[in-house]
Amino acid sequence: MKYASFSALLLFLCACSSEEAPHSEERFCLDENFKQKIEFVQPVMQDAAQGIPLTGSVESNPDKVVNFVSLVNGIVSNTYFSLGDKVTRGQVLAELRSTELSSMQAELQTLNSQIRVAENKLKSVRSMFEDGISSQRDLLEAQSELDILKAEKQKVTANLQLYSASREKGVFQIKAPASGIVTAKAIAAGTPISADGDPLFTISDLSDVWVLVNVHAGNVQHIQQGMEVDMRTLSYPGEVFKGKVSAISQVLDAEAKVLKARVVLKNTGFKLKPGMLVDVTASRQSTEQALSIPTAALVFDENQHFVVVYKNDCDLRIQKIEILSENNGTTFISEGLKGDEKIAAKNPLLIYEQVKNF
């Protein structure tokens, strides 16, 4: 009986040992803290667009630029502005000492004296005319002499106002002819200037600016008026300035050997400064439709592009894809992805390394 019980036990143990142990497969799973760093999106089917990379620079709108040229000769005695200052129309920017001011002031004093004499003469002639002593011709001559002197005084006074003469300081005041930003300055205290010489300063209204885009020969056929463009600068790396091509030059730039395309932008906050270099991406539309994903979802490894496909927290896989085109942060896929699949669009490299190592 004992022998039978031992035999049965032995057979049971052997049977148990002959069964395969269950195979356990390790998988990478997302925990809650990890998921907070990740975003998942689905591809979107839309018309494919190709981004054409270009370069350009910010320029002032020439229709809103004022170059100030002096109307008189003289020497600058004071300046009250600096390059880059914001000024308003009528603001005094500089003072100019000139011999022409002394001449005009002296002429004005002389005219005032002559006018007083002419007024007294007219009064006397009118009185004699009324008494029948003077003729009407004498009266008309006296009146005409007074009118001529008054006209001369009006002319000199108008010139003094035009040059913004200050009698108290004995200087011509140079006032801002328009509101805007001082984008060029060529004077300082002690600078001699001449009438109709080089501009003393330049004021630009930067409420809207031009971006002149360089279009090389290979892209001329693709750039068209009305095409949408995105622009980025090193000064504002996270900001995209959007605009449209408003005009394309028909003449090749002699120095750069490129055509210039013009984009007019509202310069909110005066962020864009003349002379800034910008990276421009022109959007070339296509009638072909394709799945699109954020460019940030791509992982480039071993000269190939991958995305991380998400099914659930413990079911993630690496998927190789083929790119059709890229445009302004959007990548269009030709193969490797389905429209109902979710992919990691934020920090995909974090998951990619984890999944790859399992």
pLDDT in tens, 135-148: 888 889 889 998 99
Q: Which pLDDT tens digit goes with each residue over 53-110?
A: 899 999 999 999 999 988 788 889 999 999 989 999 999 999 888 887 777 778 888 8
Q: Which of 187, 184, 122, 180 is nearest to 149 (CA)?
A: 122
Model pLDDT, residue 22: 45
Q: Which pLDDT tens digit goes with each residue over 227-243?
A: 889 999 999 988 999 99
Model pLDDT, residue 287: 66
Q: What is the rounded distance in angstroms from the CA atom of residue 206 to the CA atom of residue 204?
A: 6
Q: 295: which residues sit within 8 A by CB, 6+ positions away?
A: 326, 329, 330, 331
Average pLDDT, the chain: 84
Domain over 64-203 is classified CATH 2.40.50.100:
yes
Given a contact cutoff of 8 angstroms between Cβ atoms, the answer to whether 85 and 182 are in contact is yes
Selected from 3.40.30.10, 2.40.30.170, 3.40.50.300, 3.30.10.20, the CATH number assigned to the domain covering 53-63+206-286 reads: 2.40.30.170
Model pLDDT, residue 329: 80
Q: Which pLDDT tens digit goes with each residue over 19-31?
A: 444 444 567 888 8
Identical fold at 53-63+206-286 and 64-203? Answer: no
Q: What is the rounded distance in angstroms from the CA atom of residue 216 to the CA atom of residue 307?
A: 34
The pLDDT > 90 percentage for the chain reads 29
Residue 17 clears pLDDT 70, i.e. is over it: no
Model pLDDT, residue 221: 86
Residue 307 clears pLDDT 70, i.e. is over it: yes
Question: Would you state the CATH architecture of domain 32-48+287-357?
Answer: Beta Barrel (2.40)
Domain ranges of the chain: 32-48+287-357, 53-63+206-286, 64-203
pTM for the whole thing?
A: 0.59
Higher pLDDT, residue 21 or 36: 36
In our burial notation (b when 16+ CB lie closer than 10 A, e otherwise), range 198-234 reads: eebbbbbbbeebbbbbbbeeebeeebeeebbbbbbbe
